[in-house]
Structure 1
Amino acid sequence: MSATAQTLRPPSKTLMFLEGRAIHEFGAFLGALPLLSLAPRGDGHPVLVLPGLMASDVSTRPLRSFLQNKGYIVSGWEQGRNLGLRHGVQDGMVDLVRELSDRHRRKISLVGWSLGGLYARQLAKMMPDRVRSVITLGSPFAGHPKATNAWRVYEMASGRRAEEDHRFGGSLSDPPPLPTTAIFSRTDGICAWQGCKEKSSAMAESIEVESSHCGMGHHPAVVYAVADRLAQAEGQWMPFDRSGWRSLIFPDPNR
């Protein structure tokens, strides 16, 4: 872990208080559906969506429904509430990735929200022959485990210390060897945004949005960005184009 990652601190109490705007962001999502319908359609490949800490597939239902309407074969993680890497969770996710790729005879894309994004990155590293792309939403893969306002909840839910190394698939901060997009917000009230940002490379990028952490899975800008990334043809990945009208919605992540 880098020195910068070790010095990151959780977001301020003010930003954490502002997480309540996630409710309004859901209303914005519903209102924006006519415009979001203009987002590109997909090629029908399977997409697995992984929820965040203490959340279940219910939390990702709006995003999954939208992606399904865009032509994808979409699945939730099917393990109830995400209480951390308890016994059987890792094996369950590995089995589901294998099942989806075998059933549809195609590589799958992984979309993970917060803790679910950490799982997505690691699964892709373990099974790059079965995974096509990875998209994380506010996932703190590059920060200290305590650079969030949720580490105490994680410890209570999982029964493990935040600092303990319970990773699988290698270092969290290293990107998978395939197209990877990290969506983050500087106004995230749960995770330090610096730890949710990816280093740009030939197959890795960051997209900045103006969103809460708890509303990221249904924020209109996030939903559009996810659809845009998933719609790329396999083997023809290009970085997100924020030119034109997109520059008004998606800030420069490197500013």
Structure 2
Amino acid sequence: MTEFADGGEETGRLRPPGLGLLLAEIRGIFEFNASLMLSPFLMGAPRGDGHPVLTLPGFLASDLSMAPMRRYLTELGYDPHAWRMGRNVGGIARLRSALRKRLGEIYQTSGRKVSIVGWSLGGVYARDLALHAPQMVRYVVTLGSPFANDVRATNATRLYEALSGETVDADLELREALAGDLPVPTTSIYSRADGVVNWNTCRLRPSDTSENIEVFLASHIGLGVNPAVLWAVADRLAQAEGQFSQFDRSGPFAIAYAPAEQAQS
């Protein structure tokens, strides 16, 4: 079936977000400010059980980009960890061994399965880790991560290929695996207003242990600090190990979420 991008034409391929959405990414600073102002509401999220959470930054970002999320998760009672691999310049195959080693270190030290929150490219890494080491992974949350459909439909594809030396659609078997069902519970959080990644590439197939959560008007660079996203991440991670229920869109940020039927269809 032919795919359509928002505002696109019938080409058989998805297109990256347009220039208007890309320029509007500057609003990410307002999302960060909003999370600061709404922190009293954010602290009302379900509390964690102390299990470890590995945070993986997006393309060209470093651990600093996910520091606000780690601070938030710490306050809620989790044990968050940075990836400690510097700036993310890409390379799924190149970084796979180091990522598995980092996951293994956290798992061995804590003695508990590790939840993984990956932002953009970091979410692709998170899904790859869950596929290859499900015995160490408790839950996966991806934020604006392009793992499904036409994964070239981003405004960062050419730069990624240039810096990483890898072609995003070269390994068809890997692409199909990343887009398929994971052996652990997973949530994909995305926005149709994303100016970097076409939102159609972020949607997984809903199942008894997976779901999509669409956040209205969120930017790509603001996904890790958007208050509605932070709440959703905390809510998902609070589920008991081995259990999964669909996200409850009520609460202080209810207005920010698309209806469940819209996000899943």
Q: TM-score, normalised by structure 2?
A: 0.90
Is 1:21 matched up with 2:14?
Answer: no
Query: 2:247 maps to what in 1?
Result: 240
Structure 1 pair 111–15 and aligned structure 2 pair: CA distance change class (3 A): same
Letter in 2 for 1:29: S
Is 1:78 matched up with 2:96?
Answer: no
Is 1:214 matched up with 2:221?
Answer: yes
Query: 1:122 maps to what in 2?
Result: 128
Give the secondary-structure state (helix, strand or coil) at the position aligned to 2:180.
coil
User: Pick from 204, 207, 220: which aligns with 1:201?
Assistant: 207
Q: Number of residue pairs matched?
A: 254
Shift of 1:88: 5.0
Name stretches of at least 5 consecutive residues in structure 1 with no aligned partner.
none
User: Pick from 85, 108, 111: which aligns with 1:102?
Assistant: 108
Shift of 1:67: 0.5
Is 1:11 matched up with 2:32?
Answer: no
Q: Output the CA distance in 2 between the equivalents of 1:201 and 1:185.
A: 20
Q: Output the CA distance in 1 between the equivalents of 2:251 and 2:78.
A: 27
Give the secondary-structure state (helix, strand or coil) at the position aligned to 1:175.
coil
Letter in 2 for 1:82: N
Post-superposition Cα deviations, 1:86-117, rounded to whole Å, max 9, x if no partner, equal 77521111011111111111101000000000
Aligned partners of 2:169 and 2:175 also within 8 Å: no
Letter in 2 for 1:216: L
Deviates more, 1:57-66 or 1:162-171: 162-171
Query: 1:229 maps to what in 2?
Result: 236
Q: Output the CA distance in 2 between the equivalents of 1:111 and 1:235.
A: 17
Q: TM-score, normalised by structure 1?
A: 0.93
Larger % of helix: which?
2
Is 1:48 matched up with 2:54?
Answer: yes
Give the secondary-structure state (helix, strand or coil) at the position aligned to 1:11.
coil
Aligned partners of 1:125 and 1:169 also within 8 Å: no
Aligned partners of 2:92 and 2:125 also within 8 Å: no
Runs of 4+ in 1 over 4 A off after TM superposition: 166-170
Identity rate, percent: 47
Query: 1:39 maps to what in 2?
Result: 45
Deviates more, 1:2-11 or 1:128-137: 2-11
Q: Output the CA distance in 2 between the equivalents of 1:163 and 1:198.
A: 18
Aligned partners of 1:137 and 1:182 also within 8 Å: yes
Structure 1 pair 216–181 and aligned structure 2 pair: CA distance change class (3 A): same
Post-superposition Cα deviations, 1:166-204, rounded to whole Å, max 9, x if no partner, equal 986962201311110000101001111111112210001
